[in-house]
């Protein structure tokens, strides 16, 4: 059962236009320590601005640690490494990819287990959790359009588990990468004060203690739903338990709405997901495809009371393989704000998917859907093999 902590202030940030000014402001105000963890750290205007802010913080004596994923940020060290080291920024790479071709074509399970979290913690004051990488919203394929995503600014007692996670991840990667333990002093743990009135929980997904934490939090909230379930998720390929929870909710009269990508950067997942859409549509779930740009959000609102914002997609790779983090918020005001934002996105930029829409697809498209569905299942089975092993 999800354990919520009170006394927090959770602020919703929509897209990079809200997130990056807030992040850069807090980096500039840092006095003691910064942890930044991201899947993608791009070499674009945003990436360069964040890197410059981190280097400036290090030069004025702030301890800055950056951890990136070896696949999502495979050019990070070549691009930023020398300048970061010269400024005093410590940088590590989680499972660095050596051979690009093998990373593209190999289906070995360890290559599917990525560091997909997007976390920042600064001093004992503030943290950021969400789905927004260090990348410009406009840095997307030309045919897709700007990125739509969310993050939250966190103040209050929830900082403690966020800091603990960042510290543990750093120590583990330092041990593997540098062959010695970069132990951080225990007395450096934050002691944040009460900052607001919101109850929130920090949800992790990893392969040891928190294998199903995020999935179970979703399932718990959906099974308790009484009025509505609204989910926006970039890569939506739910497993059997998740599908049953959505279908059961719709069948007991809950208004269930799902917003997914209409323009995808991963066509295989897009077509595979469409194979599941017919089943959900027939059960009464409404599905919308976002057409105005690149939907990258991983958020949900249930009964205008429970909400989550984070990095975890609703697909096997996020829920069973990758390292992910979400914040769940038990607060009416926050939930209503996020729900209103999503309804505006649906009204202004989405098209509803119907059984007739799928039925009108050509036989070639239907065949492609089933082929992609089979391939995703194969990759999932390969990745889940040996799930009990520490990763």
CATH topology of domain 199-384: Endonuclease; Chain A (3.30.870)
**Burial of 7: CB neighbours in 10 Å, binned 0-12, 13-18, 19+:** middle
pLDDT at 190: 67
- Residue entry with tokens 């975890």: 312
pLDDT at 385: 53
Dihedral over alpha carbons 350, 356, 357, 360 (to 10 degrees): -170
Known catalytic residues?
Answer: 116, 118, 123, 296, 298, 303
Nearest Cα residue to 151 out of 349, 26, 346, 338: 338
pLDDT at 210: 73
**Strand duo 350-353 + 286-290: pairing:** antiparallel
pLDDT at 107: 44
pLDDT at 211: 75
First to last CA, the chain: 25
Residues 5-174+186-196: name the CATH superfamily: Endonuclease Chain A (3.30.870.10)
pLDDT at 112: 60
What are the start and end residues of each CATH 3.30.870.10 domain in the chain? 5-174+186-196, 199-384
- In whole angstroms, give the CA distance from residue 39 to residue 41: 7
Chunked in runs of 10, what are the mean pLDDT values of the chain (391 residues)? 95 98 98 97 98 98 97 96 97 78 44 86 95 97 91 97 94 79 65 92 83 92 98 90 96 97 74 76 94 95 98 81 94 98 97 78 65 67 47 30
pLDDT at 98: 56
pLDDT at 22: 98
pLDDT at 333: 98
pTM, full prediction: 0.90
């Amino acid at each position: 059962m999800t354990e919520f902590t009170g006394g927090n202030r959770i602020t919703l940030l929509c897209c990079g236009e809200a997130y990056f000014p807030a992040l850069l402001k807090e980096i500039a105000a840092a006095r003691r320590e910064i942890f930044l963890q991201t899947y993608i750290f791009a070499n674009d205007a945003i990436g360069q601005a964040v890197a410059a802010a981190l280097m400036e913080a290090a030069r004025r004596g702030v301890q800055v640690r950056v951890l990136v994923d070896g696949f999502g940020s495979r050019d990070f060290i070549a691009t930023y490494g020398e300048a970061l080291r010269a400024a005093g920024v410590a940088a590590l790479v989680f499972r660095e990819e050596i051979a690009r071709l093998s990373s593209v074509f190999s289906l070995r399970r360890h290559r599917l287990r990525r560091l997909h979290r997007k976390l920042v913690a600064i001093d004992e004051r503030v943290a950021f959790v969400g789905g927004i990488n260090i990348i410009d919203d406009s840095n997307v394929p030309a045919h897709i359009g700007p990125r739509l995503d969310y993050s939250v600014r966190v103040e209050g007692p929830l900082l403690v588990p966020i800091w603990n996670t960042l510290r543990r991840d750093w120590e583990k990667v330092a041990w593997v990468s540098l062959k010695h333990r970069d132990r951080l002093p225990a007395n450096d743990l934050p002691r944040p004060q009460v900052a607001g009135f919101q109850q929130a929980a920090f949800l992790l997904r990893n392969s040891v203690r928190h294998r199903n934490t995020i999935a179970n939090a979703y399932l718990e909230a959906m099974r308790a739903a009484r009025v509505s379930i609204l989910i926006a998720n970039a890569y939506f390929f739910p497993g059997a338990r998740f599908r049953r929870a959505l279908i059961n909710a719709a069948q007991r009269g809950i208004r269930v709405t799902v917003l997914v990508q209409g323009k995808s950067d991963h066509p295989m997942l897009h077509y595979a997901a469409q194979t599941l859409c017919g089943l959900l549509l027939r059960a009464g779930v409404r599905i919308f495809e976002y057409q105005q740009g690149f939907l990258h959000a991983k958020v949900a609102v249930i009964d205008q009371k429970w909400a989550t914002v984070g990095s975890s997609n609703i697909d096997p790779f996020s829920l069973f393989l990758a390292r992910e983090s979400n914040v769940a918020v038990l607060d009416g005001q926050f939930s209503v704000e996020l729900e209103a934002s999503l309804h505006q996105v649906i009204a202004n930029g989405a098209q509803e998917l119907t059984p007739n829409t799928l039925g009108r697809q050509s036989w070639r498209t239907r065949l492609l859907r089933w082929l992609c569905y089979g391939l995703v299942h194969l990759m999932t089975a390969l990745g889940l093999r040996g799930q009990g092993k520490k990763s």
